Amino acid sequence: MTSELDRDILVTAPPDAGGVRIDRFLATALEDNAALDAPLSRTRIKALIQSGGLFEADAPQIDPSATVRADIEYRLVLPPVRDATPQGQDIPLDILFEDAHLIVINKPAGLVVHPAPGQPDGTLVNALIAHCGTSLTGIGGVMRPGIVHRLDKDTSGVMLA
């Protein structure tokens, strides 16, 4: 299912493209596409295909290893770009010390420090943004906690920000 915020990229397979894997074909065909801000990696194209974002003559195509059929129009649906800026979340913090320049936190085991693709929220960074508000502005006015070091998810310990 597509939304009004999705972008559609149309690519017609030339006669010499028949038999090539669809993910490889699209990665090459879209390298210099003016509708894209940056080229899509083959991994990203594969994920879009597997999530139902590719249509072959208006029929969904979810197999990235399927082969291209010459002279067929393919429609790749690109969902809207998500804001990568972490958002504040009300997550309890064990604060050992805090002043205008520094916050010292006892990080519990099980808490991820930085947002990542597998853990975009529920992190120490999200908690710090909520707790500290605009006092986290850093270089270029970007709100981000200047965590001095990192600890693995399952490691507890004292952290400075």
Active-site residues, by number, are 152
Structure tokens at 160: 């400075």
Name the nearest CA neighbour of 157 among 88, 89, 94. Answer: 94
Amino acid at 93: L
